[in-house]
Structure 1
Amino acid sequence: MAQLIRIDTAAPPFAPAPITDAEAAAMFRAALNLFRLWGVTDDQAAMLLDLPRRTFARWKAGAIGRIGRDGKARLSNLMGIHKALRLVFRDPSRGYAWIKAQNDAFAGRSALDVMLGGELTDLMRVRRYLDAERGW
Structure 2
Amino acid sequence: MLSVERAQLPSDSAKVSKSALRTYFNIVNTWKLNVDEAMTLLGLDSRSTYFKWKKNPESAKLTSDKLERLSYIFGIYKALQILLPNIDSADQWIKRPNSALPFQGKSALERMLTGHVADLYVVRQYLDGQRGWS
TM category (shorter chain) comes to: 0.7 to 0.9
How many residues were matched structurally? 120
Give 2:77's aligned residue.
82
Query: What's the CA shift for 1:18?
Result: 6.4
Structure 1's unaligned 5+ residue stretches are 1-16
Query: What's the CA shift for 1:93?
Result: 1.2
The answer on whether the counterparts of 1:78 and 1:123 sit within 8 Å (CA) in structure 2 is yes
* 1:37 has 2:30 as partner: yes
Q: Distance in 1 between matches of 2:93 and 2:51?
A: 26
* 1:62 has 2:56 as partner: yes
Kindly report structure 1 stretches of 4+ aligned residues shifted beyond 2 Å: 17-25
Question: Does the residue aligned with 2:95 lie in a helix, a strand or coil?
Answer: coil
Q: Which amino acid in structure 1 is aligned with residue 104 of structure 2?
A: A
* 1:127 has 2:124 as partner: yes
The answer on whether the counterparts of 1:86 and 1:92 sit within 8 Å (CA) in structure 2 is yes
Give 1:5's aligned residue.
none
The answer on whether the counterparts of 2:94 and 2:109 sit within 8 Å (CA) in structure 1 is yes
State the structure with more CA Rg. 1
Structure 2's unaligned 5+ residue stretches are 1-6
Q: Which amino acid in structure 2 is aligned with residue 67 of structure 1?
A: L
TM-score, scaled relative to structure 1: 0.82
Q: Distance in 2 between matches of 1:100 and 1:84?
A: 15
The answer on whether the counterparts of 1:27 and 1:79 sit within 8 Å (CA) in structure 2 is no
TM-score, scaled relative to structure 2: 0.83
Between the aligned residues of both structures, percent identity stands at 38
* 1:96 has 2:91 as partner: yes
